[in-house]
Amino acid sequence: MADNGSAAKTLLIGLNADHFRHPLDRQATQTLKQLPGLDVAIRSLLGPMGEQFFYLENIAASVLVGPTQLPNIYGLLVEACRVLDLEVPQLYIKQHPVPNAYTFAMRGKQPFVVVHTSLIELLNEAELQAVIGHELGHLKCDHGVYLTLANLLTLATSQLPFGSVLMQGWQSQIMEWVRCAEFTCDRAALLATQDARTVASVLMKLSGGSPTLSPQLNLDAFIEQANSYDAISETEMGEMLKRLKTDELSHPVPVLRAREISRWAANPTYQSLLENRPLLNQSNGQSNRRSDKQSQPGSSNPAKTPAGSWLNW
Strand-pairing partners, residue 103, are 113
Longest pairwise C-alpha distance within the chain: 57
CB atoms within 10 A of CB 277: 16
Rg of the chain's alpha carbons, rounded to an integer? 19
135 is catalytic: yes
What whole-number distance in Å separates Cα of residue 132 and Cα of residue 32? 26
Please name the amino acid found at residue 61.
A
What whole-number distance in Å separates Cα of residue 298 and Cα of residue 282? 29
Q: What is the DSSP letter of 11?
A: P
What whole-number distance in Å separates Cα of residue 131 and Cα of residue 165? 35
- Find the DSSP H helices in 211-283: 219-231, 236-247, 254-264, 268-276
How large is the angle between the packed helices 38-61 and 144-159, nearest 10 degrees?
Answer: 80
Which of 79, 135, 182, 260 is an active site residue? 135
Can you list the positions of beta strands (E) in the chain? 63-64, 90-94, 101-104, 112-116
What whole-number distance in Å separates Cα of residue 298 and Cα of residue 256? 8
CB atoms within 10 A of CB 254: 20
Closest CA to 84 of 12, 139, 135: 12
Active-site residues, by number, are 135
